[in-house]
Amino acid sequence: MNCTPFVRQYDILSNKWGVLLCQKEYQTKDIQQNLRAMVIETMRQEGLSYSETSRRFEINSHRRVQDWERIYLTEGPEGFTIERRGHGSTDRPKKLPKEVEEDLLAEVQRLRAENEYLKNLQALVLKDERRQRRKRR
């Protein structure tokens, strides 16, 4: 049976959820993300433990349910759309939120303008001191 990596990863091919996910129309990431969200929402609504939830949905390990709940609570159902496999890149700097980036750029512009002003002020003060010296001679 041709199945998604999700089904193979969580070894749920042998249960009804795995068979469902192996059907052609359910082989999208959206369905898999909805399944994870549904598992967590059912667990929370019915007050099930991790073990009970993994048994009910025939998921291989209660730790998977634990990880899914952590993601669900911190990032919401949209958190399941993020690819989490592999190691994160350490070379690239992390992206800042747009509003933070705009604030930082505005502050940089303000500081550059302030530095330019202080340089001009210092030049004027030096020029004035030189005039004062010339008058004394």
Distance in angstroms (rounded) separating the CA atoms of residues 118 and 115: 5
For residue 88, the model assigns a pLDDT of 66
DSSP symbols for 85-96: -SPPPSSSPPPP
Per-residue pLDDT tens digits for 65-86 = 899 999 989 988 888 888 777 7
pLDDT surpassing 80 at residue 87:
no
- Residue 43: count other Cβ atoms within 10 Å of its Cβ: 21
Return the H-helix or E-strand segment holding 31.
helix 29-46
Structure-block tokens of residue 39: 């598992």
Q: Is the pTM of this model over 0.75?
A: no
26-52 pLDDT, tens digit each: 456 666 778 888 888 888 899 989 999
